[in-house]
Structure 1
Amino acid sequence: MKLLKTIAPVAALAALPTMGLAQDGPVAGVNASTDTVFILNSLLFLVGGFLVFWMAAGFAMLEAGLVRSKNVTMQLMKNVALFSLAAIFYYLIGYNLMYPLGTWSVDGVLSGVWGPGVLEAVGVTADAADDYGYASTGSDFFFQLMFCATTASIVSGTLAERIKLWPFLIFTIVLTAVIYPLQASWKWGGGFLDEAGFLDFAGSTVVHSVGGWAALTGALILGPRIGKFKDGRVIPMPGSNLTLATLGTFILWLGWFGFNGGSQLAMGTVGDVADVSRIFANTNTAAAGGAIAALILTQLLYKKPDLTMVLNGALAGLVSITAEPLTPTLGAATLIGMVGGVIVVFAIPMMDKLKIDDVVGAIPVHLICGIWGTIAVVLTNSDASLGTQLYGIVVVGIFTVVASGVVWFILNMVMGLRVSEEDEINGLDKAELGMEAYPEFSKG
């Protein structure tokens, strides 16, 4: 019996390579092997997608922990609202912009807005197998939506504690419906960056640097928090709950396995499963490398380790490995993550010197380490060209800065981005929402 238990999984795995041959052909209703490939690929998209969805909770907890207690409810509100808006507007507009030659026609989306056709539009019906080829359209849409929402989450933390709720949410709509999908189509939609040979496996540039560029542009227009920079000094504004910030980091770390592993986009062969496993291992060790680098460096620089730097170091390692989590060895992935951790430790103080107020350190983590990760692809992937990687970084950066700047500028002119001085001092929880996360600690 023990022998049978040992042999059965091996035999099943040995049969799997034949399934991969069906990925280019008809999927549903042909034979068991091709149906199995369709199921496994769709399952990877769905499992990866809900892991990336869980990153929304990670961003919410991280931001709630790193802002002051008088602004916690606002950050929680923004994270719930931005994800919900992304889900709707990526469906209505963004998915078709990102995949202009895909199976989702504009007519199909419009006809499905109010009726049962919405299920057909996202590929829930069986016919979707013939349309998409190797996985259900619904699973692909679900997976891609999570990446879009992640981009918006990056912006939220940088602009915390002084931006009005509704201008931020309107920017989120434009970002998730137009800005993110357009540039993503240049790489992942088979556009000119993809044709040029630009490599970005899971989005160090397409997702993370775009969120970072949008956040940086907003921070420059919005300005720093009251009292952050005074008489040439940087005034520390500690977060309210480092327990929540740590929890948020671990949630993001977990979600990143779906972010990078799901980007393999296939699980129908032994080779695909082996690649997903390798991606998981490299993603994990890069995060560990970033955390340890930040831990050691802050000990050396400040004589005491800095928890917030270590948390951001782990996230920096994750962003750094995202552009190419498959080809590095474990050692190379660790070193790539460690460089990310070092970047964060030096970049956050640099931001302060430039008087750019980034509440949670998102710009160093997602923008600067996103750039580093995209460049680092050339270290382990022989198909990558440094010139092409830099070209992709510059093109996406210029587009995102210009597009985001226009939107931020218009919103500032029409609605005003910033709360009043009195409201900022009292906290956005009371001023914007009329409720507090920690009412028992309020004064008076």
Structure 2
Amino acid sequence: MDTAYVINTFFALFSITLIILMVPGFAMLEAGLVRTKNVSSVLTVNVMIYAVASMAFILIGYSLAFGELQNETMSKWAFFMFQMAFVGKAINIMSGGVGERAKLFPLTLFTIIMGALIYPTAVNISWGSDWIKDTVFDLNFVDLAGSTVIHSTGGWALLAAILIIGPRKGRYVGDQIRVIPASNIPLVVLGAMLLWIGWFGFNGGSVGSIATKEAADSVALTIFNTNAAGLAGALSAGIFIYIRYRLFDITMILNGALGGLVAITAGPHLYSVTDSILIGGIGGILVVLAIPLFDRFRIDDPVGALSVHLVNGIWGTLAVGIFAADPAKGITIINQLKGVGEIAVFVFTVSSIVIYTINKMVPFRATDEDQLQGLDVSECGLEAYPEFKRAI
């Protein structure tokens, strides 16, 4: 009994390390995709999200999500840390999508509320203590590591923020969509690959145990399928973007990989390798289709977070009901759709109200002058590349 407890605790701590490695992953990805004049502000936001969201979850969020701090299969502190490592990811999804025009202070206020209340409530009605679920919701859907609970939650909050804050200055001029190129492709590659590696702890650790032969096989299958979906997403996005534009766009290929990883996250323990490749491959194509679609509706997302996390969070959750349906266990497309819908309504509605209220007190949007100068100067007083001439 003690041996299994120790092994599971060690496995959770190792998974935590991989998940927290996603913090610099998000930071590097976003820093590479924005312009040089906004890099310090993006990095500051990512560090603050990790610190603020984690503290909010420690002080308030965990109790709302899970109730008492107890666990019989591993150290309760390891379980606590594992769940805390997740919370910032939902808000990291939002931070990149409002980059280059969102101010740090109001975003920090929203991070506190997200980490303490909104995200823990989404966890409560899906994975957690279920006292809200028992009285208000009736959710019975499979979402192992959070295609909906984490990725779509972050995506719905981001959509609410973009609709309230609006696009970057100069992004849409008349009927024209101005292309704003990434500033540092090597950072984008580094960030995406760190996220990819972190996903092995994200999904593998969510199995919850590795101390028996059956549990170890389940963890290995989960990580194998996770990687296969990422590979398929990268390949499908790369092939599709080449067929469509005769170009190999590394940012699209990497976002395709991330889309595949998001899509597999709901049920990697349930799929065959073939299923995982199909799910990830569809996820990569969805990213390539969704990015220009959001632009057409003037929804300005500098890093493609909506296409990667919201669209594929939905697809990945529904995929469980398609590829791993088991009515005897309650795994049906209807239950999966219900889970997606109820989380969507809750998160989008509450996030919209919270962001709208904060925006009335402390405007989220930087002034046109500050956007032109770059948020590094107005928000941080520290430019990431002071020797470079700032792009406008």
TM-score range relative to shorter protein: over 0.9
Question: Could you say which residue in structure 2 is the equivalent of 1:80?
Answer: 47
Q: 1:330 aligned to 2:278?
A: no
Deviation by residue 1:320-348 (Cα, 9 ceiling, x = unmatched) = 00000011111110110000000000000
For these two proteins, the number of residue pairs brought into alignment is 383
User: In the aligned structure 2, how far is the partner of 1:198 from the partner of 1:311?
Assistant: 29
Question: Could you say which residue in structure 2 is the equivalent of 1:184?
Answer: 123
Question: Could you say which residue in structure 2 is the equivalent of 1:235?
Answer: 178
Identity of aligned residues (%): 42
Alpha-carbon deviation of 1:389? Answer: 0.7
Alpha-carbon deviation of 1:239? Answer: 1.1
Contact 2:139–2:338, Cα closer than 8 Å, also in 1: no
Question: Could you say which residue in structure 1 is the equivalent of 2:296?
Answer: 353
Alpha-carbon deviation of 1:442? Answer: 2.6
**Corresponding letter in the other structure for 2:25:** G
Contact 2:225–2:268, Cα closer than 8 Å, also in 1: yes
Q: 1:410 aligned to 2:388?
A: no
Alpha-carbon deviation of 1:379? Answer: 2.7
Question: Could you say which residue in structure 2 is the equivalent of 1:45?
Answer: 12
Normalised by the length of structure 2, the TM-score is: 0.96
Question: Could you say which residue in structure 2 is the equivalent of 1:255?
Answer: 198
Higher relative contact order (CA 8 A, sep 6+): 2
| Structure 1 residue ranges without an equivalent (≥5) | 1-33, 104-130
User: In the aligned structure 2, how far is the partner of 1:443 from the partner of 1:188?
Assistant: 46
| Structure 2 residue ranges without an equivalent (≥5) | none
Out of 62, 82, 88, which is 1:143 matched to? 82
User: In the aligned structure 1, how far is the partner of 2:71 from the partner of 2:233?
Assistant: 38
Question: Could you say which residue in structure 1 is the equivalent of 2:57?
Answer: 90
Out of 156, 168, 181, which is 2:95 matched to? 156
Question: Could you say which residue in structure 1 is the equivalent of 2:334?
Answer: 387
**Corresponding letter in the other structure for 1:204:** S
Deviation by residue 1:160-210 (Cα, 9 ceiling, x = unmatched) = 000111000110110011000011111111423896421101100000000
Deviation by residue 1:377-417 (Cα, 9 ceiling, x = unmatched) = 02332241111111111110011011101111011100111
Question: Could you say which residue in structure 1 is the equivalent of 2:168?
Answer: 225
Question: Could you say which residue in structure 1 is the equivalent of 2:150?
Answer: 207
Alpha-carbon deviation of 1:443? Answer: 5.8
Question: Could you say which residue in structure 1 is the equivalent of 2:112?
Answer: 173
Q: Secondary structure at the match of 2:21?
A: helix
**Corresponding letter in the other structure for 1:427:** G
Residues 308-317 or 185-194, more deviating: 185-194
Deviation by residue 1:215-255 (Cα, 9 ceiling, x = unmatched) = 01000000001111112111000111010001000000000
User: In the aligned structure 1, how far is the partner of 2:233 from the partner of 2:122?
Assistant: 28
Q: 1:422 aligned to 2:365?
A: no
Q: How does 1:43-122 map to 2 (within 5 A)?
A: 43-100=10-67, 102-103=68-69
Over 3 Å counting, the alpha-carbon distance change for 1:443 and 1:348 in structure 2 is closer
Deviation by residue 1:305-328 (Cα, 9 ceiling, x = unmatched) = 211111100000000000000111
Q: How does 1:121-132 map to 2 (within 5 A)?
A: 131-132=70-71
Contact 2:140–2:339, Cα closer than 8 Å, also in 1: no
**Corresponding letter in the other structure for 1:394:** G
Q: Secondary structure at the match of 1:199?
A: coil
**Corresponding letter in the other structure for 1:242:** I
Question: Could you say which residue in structure 2 is the equivalent of 1:434?
Answer: 381
**Corresponding letter in the other structure for 1:375:** L
Q: 1:276 aligned to 2:219?
A: yes
Alpha-carbon deviation of 1:430? Answer: 0.8
User: In the aligned structure 2, how far is the partner of 1:60 from the partner of 1:272?
Assistant: 33
Question: Could you say which residue in structure 1 is the equivalent of 2:247?
Answer: 304
Out of 371, 384, 394, which is 2:314 matched to? 371
Contact 2:267–2:320, Cα closer than 8 Å, also in 1: yes
